[in-house]
Amino acid sequence: MLIRKPEIPSSEITPEATYLNRRQFFGAAAGALAASALPTSLAACTMDEAEAAQRDEPNSYEDITSYNNFYEFGTDKSDPARLASRTLRTRPWTVEIGGLCDRPGRYAFDDLVRPHQKVDRTYRLRCVEAWSMVIPWRGIPLRDVLARARPRPGARFVEFTTLLDPAQMPGQRRSVLDWPYVEGLRMDEAMHPLTLLATGLYGRDLPAQNGAPLRLVVPWKYGFKSIKSIVRIRFTERMPATSWARSAPTEYGFYANVNPAVDHPRWTQARERRIGEWRKRATLPFNGYPEVASLYRGMDLRRNF
Ligand code: MTE
């Protein structure tokens, strides 16, 4: 495999020790999993696979920032890198948190992020289009931000919305999707310790094309759940109507858990191409994060795709 080195100063690259910490984190999570009973269709993912996910080499900084999906800037993979930084103004940036919570508010980006401990986590990103990357994110656990807003007991879901401004996001002049881009998580998914609000990658601020200044990262779900350039977070009682599920409900579900046993109607999800590699590899249940399986115990994951 050809891995290109990132062209950024070594002082800005996350130290290796940080990635090793992640291994300890997953070691603990793997123990918890062993103690839980898996639905039979998921039992195929062994501890060896979970361990393998941790050893993945990150993709190069160049790969991660030049091959993107960000339809607000065009549908070609090279459009976001070419166009997003030209028009997207990421400061000042305001995020509104509201809905079913006791402490709603409008936060300037720095006020939202600063009180929380930043973490570095290298995660696989598996796109629904059957390609994948390994990305060293920097961010804050989403649950820390959500807890601050004091969600009410009736809050069962969290809805996220991207900026709507065709002047800054020229792709919104075309009706590829019903803008703005909306995504959602069930409350327990949003509060899971793996779920991040990413503000950077490779130890640097997020580039515009990767969803600056902050985007969601949910590593066990198809990449379309990881919504970029978020301006609104809302606690809801009902399952949010998400962009892709509204646009093609037979192809994209709300849950969107990576699942090699459930094909997309137009292609297989059993295999994937890691960007930078030629030979396809097997896709792992939950993208190689089996510790989340207990969130879906008793659910039919074919129906809730
Ligand atoms: N968020 C917004 N607002 N608009 C998008 O088009 N594309 C999604 C997701 N988040 C998208 C988005 C898809 S399909 C994927 S695979 C990932 O972003 C890609 O993230 P990356 O470009 O950082 O690899």
Inside any domain, residue 180:
yes
Inside any domain, residue 175:
yes
DSSP H or E run through 62: helix 61-66
Cα-to-centroid distance, 31 and ligand 1 (Å): 32
**Whose alpha carbon is nearest atom 17 of ligand 1?**
223
Residue 252 three-state SS:
coil
Question: Which CATH number goes with the domain that contains 166?
Answer: 3.90.420.10
Inside any domain, residue 2:
no
pTM of the model: 0.85
Q: How confident is the model at residue 233 (pLDDT cuts 50, 70, 90)?
A: very high
> Which residues lie with the beta carbon below 6 Å from any ligand 1 atom?
68-72, 125, 127, 162, 181, 210-211, 223-224, 226-229
Inside any domain, residue 129:
yes
Closest by Cα among 264, 263, 206, 253 to 225: 253
The residue whose CB lies within 8 Å of the most ligand 1 atoms, and thus the one to mutate among 77, 226, 231, 252, is 226
Inside any domain, residue 243:
yes
**Res 158 pLDDT > 70:** yes
**Whose alpha carbon is nearest atom 11 of ligand 1?**
70
Cα-to-centroid distance, 298 and ligand 1 (Å): 30
Higher-confidence position of 121 and 50: 121
* Percentage of residues in the chain having pLDDT higher than 90: 82
Inside any domain, residue 305:
no
Residue count (the chain): 305
Say if residues 179 and 157 touch (Cβ distance below 8 Å): no
**Res 6 pLDDT > 70:** no
Give residue 262's domain range.
10-296
User: How many domains is the chain partitioned into structurally?
Assistant: 1
The residue whose CB lies within 8 Å of the most ligand 1 atoms, and thus the one to mutate among 61, 65, 70, 230, is 70
Predicted local confidence at residue 51, as pLDDT: 56
Q: Which atom of ligand 1 is nearest to the CA of 209?
A: 22
DSSP H or E run through 34: helix 16-34
Question: What's the Cα-to-Cα distance from 162 to each of 8, 215, 235, rounded to whole Å?
Answer: 29, 9, 15
Inside any domain, residue 303:
no
Q: How confident is the model at residue 230 (pLDDT cuts 50, 70, 90)?
A: very high
Q: Is the peptide bond before 92 cis (omega within 30 degrees of 0)?
A: yes
Q: In sequence order, which residues have a C-beta less than 8 Å from that of residue 8 and are 6 or more positions away?
A: 61, 202, 203, 204
**Res 52 pLDDT > 70:** no
- Of the listed ranges 25-29, 51-55, 92-96, 186-190, the least confidently predicted one is 25-29
pLDDT tens per residue across span 182-216: 999 999 999 999 999 999 999 999 999 999 999 99
Cα-to-centroid distance, 229 and ligand 1 (Å): 10
Q: How confident is the model at residue 24 (pLDDT cuts 50, 70, 90)?
A: very low
pLDDT tens per residue across span 133-143: 999 999 999 99
Radius of gyration (C-alpha) of the chain in whole angstroms: 18
Say if residues 40 and 285 touch (Cβ distance below 8 Å): no
Cα-to-centroid distance, 154 and ligand 1 (Å): 29
Rounded (5°) CA angle 12-17-20? 125
**Res 19 pLDDT > 60:** no
**Res 30 pLDDT > 70:** no
Predicted local confidence at residue 169, as pLDDT: 98
Cα-to-centroid distance, 69 and ligand 1 (Å): 4
Higher-confidence position of 128 and 45: 128
Inside any domain, residue 23:
yes
